Amino acid sequence: MKKDHLLSFEVNRETIGKSAVSSIVFQLLTKLKGIVTMPILTACLAPAELGIYNLILVTSSVLMPLVTLNLTDGVGILFAQEKDPATIARMFNTVLNTVALIAASLALAAFAFGGHLGEYSPYLPWVGLLLLANITHKLPVFLLATYQKSGIVLKNMFQKDLAITLCTVLLVWLGYSYRGMVLAAFVFQTLFALALYRRIFAGMEYRFGIDARLLREFLKLSIPLLPVFFFTWIVQSSDSYFLAYYGGKEVLGKYSVIYGIASVVLCITFALNFFWFPVSARLWRDNREQYTEVFRVVFTAMAALLLASVCLFELNSEAIMRLFVRREAYQDAHVIMGVIAFAFSMQVLMTLLTAPLYSNRNTRAILAAHCVGGGVNTLLNLALIPAFGIVGAAASTAVAYLAIAVGLGIMNYRLAGFRFVDPRLKYVCAFFILAWCGLGLARGSLETPGIAAADLIFVTLVAAAAFRLGLRRDERAYLVSMAAHLAKKQTQGA
């Protein structure tokens, strides 16, 4: 493939650094956007209204991999390893046309049988609109992200989210409730998706057709991963149905607010999805020894960063709720913020741990770990939610994610022969477990100035210990050189 082609990329320090930085910046902006608008949404919407929107959101999320047959995620390894533009065009047209046909067929089925869902029937059209918008935008983003075009994706998604945010606030303020949130997402997801399709098909030919041989090859890889996404959804979202059943839509609305705040942790996961799997697939094939060395450092550093964020969420949970959530009805949900942040931290580590198994094509191992997590989550939901409400839901989610992360780690050692654990990891885990417990106990006895002082001391100690004690000299030099290299590139680009 020519180097100046839209879908060309090389795995090197510049590519990884640029993709990582661009992706993390975008996700931080996206999550911060949600937190900044939260005071307006919680002031205009009652917990029950947010609960309804949460049900629409989680229902569309479970349907998305079924409509796409996981083709937008499960075949990324095949796209990342392909360099011929003509072949890539056939591959993408096959994926695009297959998903379009499935979506059209399911839309007809929903129109014919959707009226038989009882009290939930009025929500079905809104689920369909959100699902269609997400799929339409996911397809071009999947292709561009696979070939490390993070700059194009970043610009498009930033503008899209800005438009959605402004329209959402306006429609909610005008009284359209959750319907306004769905309409804003549908309109601007579709418009900005069309812009990406135009960019893609300016460099390749679109043909309405499906290459049967390619589709069979894709399905062999994507279909076995469908249960992974289903069990991931069970762990992440099925508690919404349990909470709605046992506690009502009001309790679910409170839970969704905590999810929205703590989900800033997941910006790292979404950023990794932009570059981690394609880069891992390429390095697994080309230089596995180097990949192992880098992975050890990245995993340990990521664990330290995530656990530090959990401690900060725990310490500042009450202050965060008072700052970003206006209605008093939401405030008592702060008690689960640290636990949800821990659950999301485990999800980030799961993303890291899945890449080696995925690159080694151990999809059954990935499925087995998620099956265990889904089973644990379902049993704990049934046992804890009726008695403890949102506290039980948070605990079941955190335990399930931890079980999956541990299972994936074991599979990496046994099946892929990937010995990724750095000896420094045990010290990281021990320190932050003690810190989490200590800061959680201290939160109840500290006023706002004391909490701010504790934040400053904690962040300073963690940063100093990480840079001076946690990193080796060569690792510190590498990080400094990468930061200088990126700064130089940014300056030249400006």
CA separation for the pair 295, 437 (Å, rounded): 29
Calculate the average pLDDT of the chain: 81
Residues 217-246 have pLDDT tens digits of 888 878 877 887 888 888 888 888 898 888
- Domain borders along the chain are 13-445
Residue 491, pLDDT above cutoff 80: no
Mean pLDDT for the stretch of residues 60-82? 80
For residues 455 and 3, the model is more confident at 455
CA separation for the pair 418, 225 (Å, rounded): 21
| Region of 271 on the Ramachandran plot (φ > 0 left; ψ -120 to 50 alpha; else beta) | alpha
Mean pLDDT for the stretch of residues 324-350? 89
What does DSSP assign to residue 247? T
Residue 486, pLDDT above cutoff 80: no
Helix, coil or strand: residue 84: coil
> Taking Cα atoms as reference points, which of 85, 81, 78 lies closest to residue 205?
85
Residue 85, pLDDT above cutoff 90: no
Residues comprising the chain, all counted: 494
Cβ count near 216 (within 10 Å): 9
- The set of residues, in sequence order, having a beta carbon less than 8 Å from that of 77 and lying 6+ positions away, is 221, 277, 281, 358, 359, 361
Percent of the chain with pLDDT over 70: 83
Mean pLDDT for the stretch of residues 457-477? 73
Distance, C-alpha 154 to centroid of its chain: 15
Residues 253-280 have pLDDT tens digits of 899 889 888 888 877 776 566 567 667 7
CA separation for the pair 402, 258 (Å, rounded): 19
Q: What is the largest CA-CA distance in the chain?
A: 65
Sole residue written with tokens 């894709």: 218
What's the pLDDT band for 28 if we cut at 50, 70, 90?
low
What pLDDT is recorded for position 79? Answer: 77
Q: The whole model's pTM is what? A: 0.74
CA separation for the pair 16, 28 (Å, rounded): 18
Residues 145-204 have pLDDT tens digits of 777 676 788 788 888 988 998 899 899 999 899 899 999 999 999 999 999 999 888 878
What's the pLDDT band for 493 if we cut at 50, 70, 90?
very low
Task: Note the helical H segments in 325-336.
Answer: none
Residues 55-70 have pLDDT tens digits of 898 889 888 888 888 8
Q: Rounded to 5 degrees, what angle do the CA atoms 121, 125, 128 make?
A: 120
What's the pLDDT band for 494 if we cut at 50, 70, 90?
very low
What's the pLDDT band for 470 if we cut at 50, 70, 90?
low
Query: Among 10-19, 130-139, 288-297, 346-355, whose mean pLDDT is lowest?
Result: 10-19
